[in-house]
Structure 1
């Protein structure tokens, strides 16, 4: 019997990500809606879709169908997550930070609340169709049948995966143009890099991986803030309000753009710090 404590840790982590998504879905379907549970559902699935193919490529048998299904399950809940952030974080920040808010702000707030109610209903309906039973079974069957590789091969594979993620991130940084779509693509690349480092961190020096995870988390926070502000700006623009109720919407959109710019400036500072870190995965021999 072949055993590999290194591969077992990877398997347990992936099991944990899937388990958290399963638990979050159960809570969302059985309890009153909780935005934190939707976030847990999405993060659990994203961690798997960002890393599972890097594990299964060690075998001749992939799990592309499983990854595609999990990605679809996550994507159908994306709009609701964006609306939750608008209601719980972005709009309160605007009301708190904007010195003069044109009336009638209450009309805009009510319209946003109605948008959230609709999003919640749509998401619960989508979750009822998004069972993870078969994907979890497929992954566990693959892991049970897989003959774990050596620690050296695991480390070499991990280094290649992290390097690929790093190169994609650098390319997307070079293509930033101030738009939300390019920002979103960079944010996705940074998440994939971070989740890959987290999954394989036990294969590399702890100090090096900790430094990278700390800086990637900081970078992700600034990117997330900029993205959320721009997304909120777009969502508010879709509200069906009378012309007489548009003044607070215009004020919000001006504030959101400025707030996104401020977050982007902090992102640039974080990128500078990231550039100073050595690429620890390239030092494996």
Structure 2
């Protein structure tokens, strides 16, 4: 871990003086800075609640979304300066990834399993054995994620980001718009390449889902720089696409997770039924995903007209 994240990059008196002299940052840059800071604050607050209160899956989701928004966009902002924040992004991504399995198990227990019990017309007995095994798996995951969060303090990354934002020479509105357009175009091109590589497998689906999230979060961060109607049309369609991708991912992930449950061979029938249902519902979600991609292709590239 480099000096910045070891806490040695403490603002000097000179840098604080420079920050004060640059307090009148451009409104465009200030809004971006404020939004990024807000994402970090939400993640910090969610971590605090998870460590101090009874476990709440919604708080874990808030922690992960706050960090993902930052890791998806911070490098695009820091490239406005010679001082990049790659180390901060790497640290935040590692913090988020340690909690991913718990989030998948929460979704299995609270969303996917209830949907299976509700939608499957005939569930072979004894379904209670499978439900109990999932509940035990969730309890273990909660304990593990709390232990992980205790090691995932955000104090130094937040300090590093705020020092950077205070010390950087505020870019002009024109430079910010050009940078935003270039970043969105990069994200869109990644999305296009991943669409072309879809093969029905979960890994490709996961990579496409990540690309959709990164494009959506980037567009949200910079949406105030572009025509409102055009940006909103993309955000609405990306949200719809993300929902279908998320459902397909959750069903396939749940299918894999139940296959690892320590359930006796005599109690495997409900698990087999669940896995058949999960595969079919993932296929149905993927079909809707393709329809959503078709709608996305009809939208104009508003960012390319903003240079």
Match of 2:167 among 145, 155, 159: 145
Match status 1:18 vs 2:19: no
**Is 1:84–2:106 an aligned residue pair?**
yes
Aligned mate of 2:120, from 86, 91, 98:
98
- Residue 124 (str. 1) matches residue 146 (str. 2): yes
- Please, which moves more after superposition, 2-11 or 221-230? 2-11
- Which structure would you say has the larger Rg? 2
Question: How many residue pairs end up in the alignment?
Answer: 285
1:113-164 CA-partner distances (Å, limit 9, x unpaired): 0000000000000000000000000000000001111111100000000000
Decide which of 193, 201, 205 is 1:183's aligned counterpart: 205
Q: Distance in 2 between matches of 1:125 and 1:3?
A: 40
After TM superposition, where is structure 1 displaced by more than 2 Å over at least 4 residues in a row? Answer: none
Residue 216, structure 1, aligned to residue 238, structure 2: yes
Residue 47 of structure 1 and its aligned partner are, at CA, apart by 0.2
Shift of 1:241: 1.1
- Give the secondary-structure state (helix, strand or coil) at the position aligned to 1:130: coil
Q: Whole-Å Cα distance in 2 between the matches of residues 207 and 152 of structure 1? A: 21
Is the counterpart of residue 108 in structure 1 residue 130 in structure 2? yes
- Please tell me whether residue 192 in structure 1 is matched to residue 214 in structure 2: yes
Aligned-residue CA RMSD in angstroms? Answer: 0.6
Aligned to 2:185: 163
Matched, 1:242 2:275: no
In 2, Cα distance between equivalents of 1:181 and 1:265: 17
- Aligned pair 1:281/2:306, yes or no? no
| Structure 2 partner of 1:58 | 80
1:255 counterpart residue number: 277
**Partner of residue 63 from structure 2, selected from 12, 16, 41:** 41
Q: How far does the alpha carbon of each residue in 1:12-60 deviate from its partner, in whole angstroms, 9 at most, with x for none?
A: 0000000000000000000000000000000000000000000001110
Q: CA deviation at 1:3?
A: 2.2
**1:265-284, CA deviations, whole angstroms, 9 ceiling, x for partnerless residues?**
11111111100000001112
Q: Which runs of 5+ in 2 are unaligned?
A: 1-21
Q: Could you tell me the TM-score, scaled by structure 2's length?
A: 0.92
Structure 2 residue matching 1:60: 3-state secondary structure: coil
User: Matches of 1:220 and 1:64 in 2, distance apart?
Assistant: 26
**Map of 1:73 onto structure 2:** 95
Question: What is the distance in 1 between the residues matched to 2:90 and 2:172?
Answer: 28
